[in-house]
Amino acid sequence: MRKRAKAILYKSQEYSVKEIAKLLEVRTDTVYAWICKYELEGVESFYDKQGRGRKTILQDSDADKIKELVINSPSIPVANAKLRDKLKIFVHDNTLKNYLKKTKIELHKSKESTS
């Protein structure tokens, strides 16, 4: 957002598109797109629209099914294997780990002997 606003500011100060691109470390066609969009939408063009980016694979609506499958798993890789086999959900182990942390789902931890 900040870069887009700066691009418009620089353009109003009569910098060339090439100079703006160099200052902001973006491509010239990106600067052209920002300027055109600003002319059409005004200040609203600085903001990202909702729905952009990669969609999440692990949905909150699936939390119960996921919890049921992974609750007794000894590790993230084992839990992830269960998700692949049963729900046909393919995610990286770190993605699953972050999801479990976010939803406060804990895996079964085996107690180590202290002797």
Instruction: Kindly state the helix (H) or strand (E) to which residue 4 belongs, with its residue range.
Output: helix 2-12
Q: What is the mean pLDDT of residues 60-81?
A: 84
The C-alpha angle with vertex 5 and arms to 40 and 17, in degrees rounded to 5, equals 80
Instruction: Tell me which residue of 83, 85, 3, 78 sits closest to 45, measured CA to CA.
Output: 3
Q: What is the mean pLDDT of residues 63-75?
A: 84
pLDDT-derived band at 99 (thresholds 50, 70, 90) equals confident
Whether the pLDDT of residue 4 is over 60: the answer is yes
Whether the pLDDT of residue 114 is over 80: the answer is no
> What pLDDT is recorded for position 27?
95
pLDDT-derived band at 109 (thresholds 50, 70, 90) equals low
Residue ranges covered by each domain of the chain = 2-46, 60-102
Q: What is the mean pLDDT of residues 67-71?
A: 83
Determine contact, residues 35/7, Cβ cutoff 8 Å: yes
User: Cα–Cα distance between 16 and 76 in angstroms, integer?
Assistant: 52
Model pTM score: 0.49
Instruction: Kindly state the helix (H) or strand (E) to which residue 20 belongs, with its residue range.
Output: helix 17-24
The count of other CB atoms within 10 Å of the CB of residue 90 is 10
Per DSSP, the chain holds a count of helices (H) and strands (E) of 6, 0
> What pLDDT is recorded for position 115?
43
The count of other CB atoms within 10 Å of the CB of residue 96 is 22
Whether the pLDDT of residue 17 is over 90: the answer is yes
